[in-house]
């Protein structure tokens, strides 16, 4: 009987140690992710395609508070490369263009056409994109709804070319970091309204990112344009 109890206690202690080790590993992953983001903020970046073509040149980022962002009428100064850090989510956001048309009102839904570049900050490389690839000529389609001020969004799979994000990550869930940005931009069609698409840049931690980032604890930089799909 005592031998059985001893074995049980030993197994329990082993399980506790394993659990603690797992928690420490996740804590270390989060710490590493935070350090990677902080280093990215201080870098002058050149983002290249797989063939070495320059896609983006990014100067060092100037982080502003949410209070300053609100005081600036929810805008960021592109000339000084301002990004606002959203404290609740840890997302950093730069609004390059507010877009055209109207903001999405409560009770409204819209299908957006989205062009995106996803750069894995930890891997220091472009991960997915629908920019300039002759085999990916179509935008990502996103269905967005406003339910009493709460935005929800999914990648559409009923278009004949499907969804890149769903194909790559096996999920139609739009990263919550993207949805956050949609709250601050106009989502009308640029051509119809004689303007330009909403254009934002984001640094999205794993907790507000896509499925693979959430599972493997890494952050991504995004360059995104949104506008109403208008045929």
pLDDT in tens, 107-129: 999 999 999 999 999 999 999 99
At 24 the pLDDT is 65
pLDDT in tens, 171-187: 999 999 999 999 999 99
| Residue 207 predicted with pLDDT over 70 | yes
At 8 the pLDDT is 41
| Residue-range domain boundaries for the chain | 42-228
What is the rounded CA–CA span in Å between residue 45 and residue 119?
11
E strands within 32-80?
A: 45-48, 54-58, 62-64
What is the rounded CA–CA span in Å between residue 89 and residue 119?
19
173's enclosing H/E stretch is none
At 71 the pLDDT is 98
CB proximity list for 24: less than 8 A, separation 6 or greater:
none
Rounded to an integer, the average pLDDT of 224-229 is 95
Confidence grade of residue 230 (pLDDT, cut at 50, 70, 90): confident
At 194 the pLDDT is 86
What percent of the chain lies above the pLDDT cut of 70? 87
Model pTM score? 0.88
E strands within 104-149?
A: 109-120, 125-129, 140-147
Cβ atoms 205, 90 nearer than 8 A? yes
Confidence grade of residue 51 (pLDDT, cut at 50, 70, 90): confident
Greater confidence (212 vs 53) lies with: 212
Cβ atoms 36, 121 nearer than 8 A? yes
Confidence grade of residue 53 (pLDDT, cut at 50, 70, 90): confident
Rounded to an integer, the average pLDDT of 190-203 is 93
CB proximity list for 186: less than 8 A, separation 6 or greater:
98, 99, 100, 101, 102, 103, 198
What is the rounded CA–CA span in Å between residue 123 and residue 145?
33
What is the rounded CA–CA span in Å between residue 222 and residue 28?
24
Lowest-confidence region among 4-18, 19-33, 92-106, 139-153: 4-18
Pairing of strands 62-64, 82-86: parallel
| Residue 11 predicted with pLDDT over 50 | no
Buried b (16+ CB within 10 A) or exposed e, 175-210: bbbbbbbbebbbbbbbeebebebbbbbbbbbbbbbb
Largest CA distance in the chain: 82
CATH fold label, 42-228: Chitinase A; domain 3 (3.10.50)
At 135 the pLDDT is 55
| Residue 9 predicted with pLDDT over 50 | no
């Amino acid at each position: 009987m005592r031998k059985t109890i001893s074995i049980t206690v030993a197994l329990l202690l082993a399980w506790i140690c394993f659990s603690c080790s797992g928690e420490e590993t996740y804590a270390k992953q989060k710490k590493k992710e935070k350090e990677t983001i902080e280093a990215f903020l201080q870098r002058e970046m050149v983002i290249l395609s797989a063939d070495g073509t320059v896609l983006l040149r990014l100067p060092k980022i100037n982080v502003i508070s949410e209070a300053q962002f609100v005081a600036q009428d929810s805008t960021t100064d592109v000339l000084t490369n301002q990004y606002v850090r959203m404290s609740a989510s840890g997302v950093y956001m730069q609004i390059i263009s507010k877009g055209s048309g109207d903001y999405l009102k409560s009770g409204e839904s819209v299908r957006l056409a989205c062009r995106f570049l996803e750069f894995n900050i930890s891997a220091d490389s472009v991960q997915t994109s629908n920019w300039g690839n002759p085999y990916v000529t179509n935008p990502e389609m996103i269905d967005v709804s406003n339910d009493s001020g709460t935005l929800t969004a999914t990648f559409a799979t009923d278009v004949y070319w499907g969804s890149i994000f769903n194909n790559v990550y096996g999920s139609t869930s739009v990263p919550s970091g993207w949805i956050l940005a949609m709250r601050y931009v106009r989502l009308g069609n640029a051509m119809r309204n004689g303007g330009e698409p909403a254009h934002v840049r984001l640094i999205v931690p794993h907790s507000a990112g896509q499925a693979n980032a959430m599972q493997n604890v890494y952050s991504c930089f995004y360059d995104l344009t949104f506008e109403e799909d208008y045929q």
